[in-house]
Amino acid sequence: MSETPLPDVVPTARKFPWGALLAFVGLCAVLGVVGVGLARSQQGTVVVGREAPNFVLTTFDGEQISLRSLRGKIVVVNFWASWCKPCEQEAADLEAAWRAYQPDGDVIFLGIAWSDIETDAKAYMDRFGITYPNGFDLGTRISQTYRTTGVPETYIIDQDGVLAAIKIGPFESVAEIRAVIDALRK
């Protein structure tokens, strides 16, 4: 019995699914961006025990102070705002602590006015007699670097530039401020 050869079955040419590929890539891109955003938001504040991020503060007097240049000293970085009521609670205590340490020169206080108006910030400083260097958080770059969650927040950096303590909210007393600083003095 002679067999007729089977006809070749010609598969129909399928087009490459460019549309699906584009949609997939787009979806991945969106998910990537959302993921990065979520990861950033989950990072929280900077970590105690690690090197404190450097910043340069331009004070209201026009002086530029780099955190790195203060290596060897204890640095108290206080974020505040003139419209912030809890900041008022600790303003006088911070100034009192600063005046207590100022003669020795081994502790530096830096005030960073966050999202404030210059005239209001200066009026606030006059009201509480603040004399340690203060300046604007221009473009909120410093607060973003430290990933602050609001004001007041205080970051205490040791002589090696390592973040030693974080205080979220106002200090209750001069004694509380001094207790943190004295623990770092050698």
Partner 1 sequence: MRPDHHPSRKILLALLLALSLGALLTAAAFAQEPTPSDDEVNRVASQLYCPVCESTPLDVCPTQACAQWREVVRQKLAQGWTDEQIKTYFVELYGERVLATPPARGLNLLMYIAPPLGILFGVYLVWRTLRKRAPAAAAPVEAPPPADAATDEYVRRLEEELRKR
By the criterion CB under 8 A, which residues form the site for partner 1? Answer: 4, 6-7, 19, 22-23, 26, 29-30, 33, 81, 83, 115, 117, 120, 136, 138-141, 144
**123 or 162: CB nearest partner 1:** 123
Query: Toward partner 1, which CB reaches closer, 105 or 139?
Result: 139
- DSSP H or E run through 34: helix 18-42
Count Cβ atoms within 10 A of the Cβ of residue 77 and give its class: 0-12 exposed, 13-18 middle, 19 or more buried: buried
CB of 184 to partner 1, least distance (A): 31
- Closest approach, Cβ 65 to partner 1, in A, equals 18
**How many whole angstroms separate alpha carbon 129 and alpha carbon 119?**
15
Residues 6+ apart with CB under 8 A from 103: none
The nearest distance, CB 106 to partner 1, in angstroms, is 33
The minimum distance between CB 74 and partner 1, in angstroms, equals 29
Residue 47 or 117: the one with the smaller Cβ distance to partner 1 is 117
Q: How far apart are the first and last CA of the chain?
A: 106
